[in-house]
C-alpha cells in the first residue's frame, strides 16, 4: 500500500486507510459504520430507504459512537413512470406467491422511496447535520444539493457504471466517483434503470481513470487486501467493499441471509430487476428463478416494484418462509469472513502490506 494512496485518500476523506465500507441500505447500522471509522477507514450509512427522522437519528447515533469522518448515502432515481395497468398486471403476476403464503395480494403499489431531488426535508436535514461525506446512487443530484454540501465542507460522491455517467458526475462538480462494476452486490447504480451495460470493474475502472480528472473509487467483488491492491494498481484512489462486511456482527444482515452467505449458495449470484424494478445482484433465489418474466417491460418502475417484493417477503416471513428475501450479495460472496468490523478492517490492511 503506497503512501501516496494513503495521503491522497486521507486528504479527501479524513481517514487513513483507502477503504470505504459500502452504504448498504437495510444492512448498515451506526454500530457498523462507527467500528469501521474508528479503525481509520470510512464507515457508511445507507439512508436511501429511511425517513428524515430515521436518517437524522442514525446520523446522531453514529456521532455518539465515533468522532471520525463517515459517509451517508441517498437515492437519486428518476420518479417512476409506471402506469396503473402495469401495476395491476404485476400484482396479478405475484398473486399466486401471496396466496401460497396464505396472504392477500395488495390492491395497489406505492412509490415508497422519494428521490433526493424531490425530498427538500431530507436535503435540509443533511445540511443541518453536515456529515463529512455524502454519496448518491442511481444518478447525480441537483446542482444546488451538491453545492450546499460542499459549502459546509462536505465531500460528494456519485456511483457510476459507465464512462458517460462518469462524465456527467464530473461535470456536476462532485469530488469523486465510485466505479461500480457488474460484480457488485445490491442495486446497480446505473442512471437509467432500463440500460445497464454490465461492465466489469477492471474495464470500467481503467476507462474512468484514463478519462476523468477526478478521483475514482473502485467497487464490485472486492473482498480482501489483494483485491484492494489490484484496484489501486489500476489507478483507483481507494476501494469500496460491501458484501465483505455483511457477516460482521454489527451489520443488520438477517439470519437467513447470513446462513446463505456461509453456505455453498453464496457461489451463485445473479442480477434481476424483478425484486425492485432496478437491476440488483443477490444470491440466486426465487425471484431470479421463478418470478422474473421473460419480458422485462412487465416489471413496474423502481421503487413501485420494490413495494410488491417487500410486501411479499413480509407475508412469506409471517408464514415461516424466508425464500423471498433479496439476499443482496456480490460475485465474491463466498469469500465473506465472519469477523467484527474492526478486525476485518485490520485484516484487510494487513493483507495490503
The pLDDT of 123-146, averaged and rounded, is: 98
- Please give the pLDDT value at position 280: 98
Is residue 255 scored above 70 in pLDDT? yes
Grid cell listed for 39? 479503525
Grid cell listed for 59? 446520523
Is residue 309 scored above 60 in pLDDT? yes
- Please give the pLDDT value at position 1: 46
**Banded pLDDT at 279 (limits 50, 70, 90):** very high
Cα four-point dihedral sign 305, 308, 314, 318: negative
**Banded pLDDT at 42 (limits 50, 70, 90):** very high
**Banded pLDDT at 36 (limits 50, 70, 90):** very high
Rounded to two decimals, the pTM is 0.96
Grid cell listed for 270? 445473479
What is the percent of the chain where pLDDT is above 70? 99
Burial grade of 254 (CB within 10 A; 0-12, 13-18, 19 or more) = middle
Q: Give 57-119 as a DSSP string.
A: HHHHHHHHH-SS-EEEEEE-PPPP---HHHHHHHHHHHHHHHHHTT-PPPS-----S--GGG-
Is residue 247 scored above 80 in pLDDT? yes
Residues facing 19 on adjacent strands: 239
Q: For 253, how many CA atoms within 13 A lie in the half-sphere containing its CB?
A: 25
Per the model's pLDDT, the better-predicted residue between 7 and 138 turns out to be 138
Is residue 2 scored above 80 in pLDDT? no
Taking only the tens place, the pLDDT of each residue in 322-352 is 999 999 999 999 999 999 999 999 999 999 9
- Please give the pLDDT value at position 5: 66
Grid cell listed for 209? 481513470
Amino acid at each position: 500500500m503506497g503512501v501516496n494512496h494513503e495521503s491522497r485518500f486521507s486528504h479527501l476523506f479524513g481517514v487513513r486507510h483507502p477503504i470505504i465500507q459500502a452504504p448498504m441500505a437495510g444492512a448498515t447500522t451506526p454500530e457498523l459504520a462507527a467500528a469501521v471509522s474508528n479503525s481509520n477507514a470510512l464507515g457508511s450509512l445507507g439512508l436511501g430507504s429511511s425517513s428524515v427522522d430515521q436518517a437524522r437519528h442514525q446520523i446522531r447515533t453514529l456521532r455518539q459512537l465515533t468522532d471520525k469522518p463517515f459517509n451517508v448515502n441517498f437515492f437519486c432515481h428518476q420518479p417512476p413512470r409506471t402506469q396503473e395497468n402495469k401495476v395491476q398486471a404485476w400484482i396479478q403476476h405475484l398473486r399466486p406467491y401471496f396466496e401460497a403464503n396464505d396472504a392477500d395480494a395488495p390492491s395497489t403499489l406505492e412509490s415508497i422511496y422519494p428521490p433526493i431531488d424531490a425530498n427538500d426535508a431530507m436535503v435540509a436535514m443533511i445540511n443541518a447535520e453536515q456529515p463529512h461525506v455524502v454519496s448518491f446512487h442511481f444518478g447525480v443530484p441537483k446542482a444546488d444539493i451538491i453545492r450546499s454540501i460542499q459549502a459546509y465542507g462536505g465531500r460528494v460522491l456519485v456511483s457510476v457504471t459507465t464512462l458517460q455517467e462518469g462524465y456527467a458526475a464530473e461535470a456536476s462538480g462532485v469530488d469523486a466517483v465510485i466505479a461500480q462494476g457488474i460484480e457488485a452486490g445490491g442495486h446497480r447504480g446505473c442512471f437509467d434503470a432500463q440500460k445497464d451495460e454490465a461492465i466489469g470493474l477492471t474495464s470500467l475502472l481503467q476507462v474512468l481513470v484514463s478519462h476523468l480528472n477526478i478521483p475514482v473509487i473502485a467497487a464490485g467483488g472486492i473482498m480482501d487486501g489483494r483485491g484492494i491492491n489490484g484496484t489501486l494498481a489500476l489507478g483507483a484512489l481507494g476501494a469500496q467493499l460491501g458484501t465483505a462486511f455483511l457477516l460482521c456482527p454489527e451489520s443488520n444482515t438477517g439470519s437467513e441471509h447470513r446462513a446463505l452467505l456461509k453456505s455453498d449458495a453464496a457461489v451463485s449470484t445473479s442480477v434481476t430487476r424483478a425484486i425492485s424494478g432496478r437491476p440488483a445482484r443477490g444470491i440466486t433465489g426465487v425471484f431470479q428463478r421463478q418470478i422474473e418474466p421473460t419480458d422485462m417491460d412487465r416489471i413496474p418502475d423502481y421503487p413501485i416494484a420494490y413495494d410488491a417484493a417487500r410486501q411479499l417477503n413480509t407475508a412469506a416471513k409471517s408464514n415461516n418462509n424466508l425464500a423471498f428475501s433479496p439476499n443482496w450479495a456480490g460475485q465474491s460472496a463466498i469469500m465473506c469472513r465472519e469477523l467484527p468490523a474492526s478486525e476485518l478492517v485490520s485484516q484487510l490492511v494487513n493483507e495490503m502490506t
